[in-house]
Structure 1
Amino acid sequence: MCRVQTCGSSLFKLTQSKTTDINMADFGEILRNIGEFGLFQQLTLIALCFPNLFLSFMFASFIFIESDPERHCNTDWILRADPNLTTDEQLNLTLPREEDGTFSRCRMFVPVDRDIGSIREYGLNETSGCQSGWVYYNALYEATIVTDFDLVCDKANLVEVAQTVFLAGILIGSLTFGPFAESFGRKRATQIPLVIMFIFTVSTALCPNIYLYLVLQFFSGVGAGGYRVNCIILSTEWIGMSKRSWGVCVTQLFGALGQCVLAGVIYAIRDWRLAQLITAAPLGVVVIYIWFIPESARWLLNRGRTEEAKQLIVKAAAINKRSVPDSLLEKIAVKDTLNTGGIKIIFRSSLLTRYFFTVAFAWFSLNLALYCLYLNMGNFGLSIFVTQLLFGAIEIPANLFSMWLLEVFGRRVLFIATLLAGGLSCILILAVPQGYAVAVTSLAAASRFFLIWAGSVCSVFMQELTPTSVRQTATALGAISGRTGGLLAPLLNILAMYHWVIPITVFSSLTLVSGALGFLLPETRRKELPETADEAENNRNSTSTNTQSRPYPNATKL
Structure 2
Amino acid sequence: MADFGEMLKAAGDFGLFQKILLIAIWFPFLLLSFIFASVLFADSDPERHCNTDWILGAGPNLTEEEQLNLTVPREPDGSHSRCLMYAPVNWTLDSIRQYGLNHTTACRDGWVYDQTLYQATIVTDFDLVCDKANELAVAQTVLGAGILIGSLLFGPLGESFGRRRTTQIPVLFLFIFTLTGGLSPNFYLYLASQFGAGMGYGGFRMNAIVLMTEWIGITKRSMGACGGQFSGAAGLACMSGINYLTRDWRLAQLVMAMPMALVAVYIWFIPESARWLLDRGRTEEAKELILKAAAINRRTVPQSLFEKITVNKTVEKGGIWVLIKSPVLRKRFLIIVFAWFAVSLTFICLGFNVGKFGLDIFLTELLFGLTELPAHLLCFWLLELAGRKLCLMFTILVGGLACLSILAVPAGNAIAVTVLAITARILMTVGSSISSVYIQELFPTSARHTAAGLGGLATRVAGLLAPSVNLLVVYHYSIPISVFSSLTLLGGALIFLLPETRGIELADSTAQAEIQSNGTKMETGRRSITDDHTAVITSSKL
Fold similarity call, TM over 0.5 = yes
Show the counterpart of 1:529.
Answer: 506
TM-score, normalisation: structure 1: 0.91
Summarize the alignment of residues 299-448 of structure 1 with structure 2, pairs less than 5 Å apart.
Answer: 299-332=276-309, 334-336=311-313, 338-340=315-317, 342-448=319-425
Name the CA distance, whole Å, in 1 between partners of 2:174 and 2:462.
22
Name the CA distance, whole Å, in 2 between partners of 1:64 and 1:32.
46
Show the counterpart of 1:61.
Answer: 38
Q: Is the 8 A contact 1:398 1:453 kept in 2?
A: yes
- The amino acid across from 2:441 in the alignment is E
Q: Is the 8 A contact 1:337 1:532 kept in 2?
A: no
Shift in Å, 1:272: 0.8
Show the counterpart of 1:46.
Answer: 23
Q: Is the 8 A contact 2:318 2:447 kept in 1?
A: no
Shift in Å, 1:166: 0.4
Shift in Å, 1:339: 2.1
- The amino acid across from 2:171 in the alignment is L
Shift in Å, 1:337: 6.8
Shift in Å, 1:381: 1.4
Out of 462-471 and 124-133, give the one that drifted further. 124-133
Out of 479-488 and 234-243, give the one that drifted further. 479-488
Shift in Å, 1:546: 5.8
Show the counterpart of 1:494.
Answer: 471
Shift in Å, 1:129: 1.0
Find 2:183's aligned residue among 206, 213, 231: 206
Show the counterpart of 1:14.
Answer: none
Q: Is the 8 A contact 1:245 1:460 kept in 2?
A: yes
Name the CA distance, whole Å, in 2 between partners of 1:138 and 1:475.
43
Shift in Å, 1:545: 7.5
Out of 193-202 and 211-220, give the one that drifted further. 211-220
Name the CA distance, whole Å, in 2 between partners of 1:545 and 1:302.
18
Name the CA distance, whole Å, in 1 between partners of 2:402 and 2:535.
50
- The amino acid across from 2:66 in the alignment is E
Shift in Å, 1:472: 0.8
Q: Is the 8 A contact 1:496 1:502 kept in 2?
A: yes
Within the alignment, does 1:483 sit opposite 2:467 as a pair?
Answer: no
Within the alignment, does 1:79 sit opposite 2:18 as a pair?
Answer: no
- The amino acid across from 2:451 in the alignment is A
Q: Which has the larger radius of gyration?
A: 1
Name the CA distance, whole Å, in 2 between partners of 1:327 and 1:358.
41
Show the counterpart of 1:231.
Answer: 208
Shift in Å, 1:51: 0.8
3-state SS, counterpart of residue 135 of structure 1: strand
**Deviations for 1:217-238, whole angstroms, at most 9, x for unmatched residues?**
1111011110101110111110
Q: Is the 8 A contact 2:349 2:466 kept in 1?
A: yes
Shift in Å, 1:547: 9.5
**Deviations for 1:294-329, whole angstroms, at most 9, x for unmatched residues?**
011111111121111111111101110111222223
1:44–1:337 distance in 2 versus 1, CA, 3 Å:
farther
TM-score, normalisation: structure 2: 0.94
Q: Is the 8 A contact 2:512 2:525 kept in 1?
A: no
**Deviations for 1:158-188, whole angstroms, at most 9, x for unmatched residues?**
0111111101111111111011111111111
Show the counterpart of 2:217.
Answer: 240
Show the counterpart of 1:516.
Answer: 493
Q: Is the 8 A contact 2:3 2:310 kept in 1?
A: no
Name the CA distance, whole Å, in 2 between partners of 1:336 and 1:511.
43
- The amino acid across from 1:543 in the alignment is K
Across the two proteins, how many residue pairs are aligned to each other? 530
3-state SS, counterpart of residue 539 of structure 1: helix
Show the counterpart of 2:154.
Answer: 177
Consecutive unaligned residues in structure 1, runs of 5 or more: 1-21
Q: Is the 8 A contact 1:530 1:539 kept in 2?
A: no
Name the CA distance, whole Å, in 2 between partners of 1:265 and 1:138.
17
Find 2:239's aligned residue among 254, 262, 267: 262
1:471–1:259 distance in 2 versus 1, CA, 3 Å:
same
Q: Is the 8 A contact 1:306 1:333 kept in 2?
A: no
Q: Is the 8 A contact 1:346 1:533 kept in 2?
A: no
Show the counterpart of 1:97.
Answer: 74
**Deviations for 1:347-405, whole angstroms, at most 9, x for unmatched residues?**
11111111001100100111111111111121211221221111112211221111111
Shift in Å, 1:89: 2.4
3-state SS, counterpart of residue 49 of structure 2: strand
- The amino acid across from 1:71 in the alignment is R
Name the CA distance, whole Å, in 2 between partners of 1:157 and 1:388.
22
Show the counterpart of 2:254.
Answer: 277
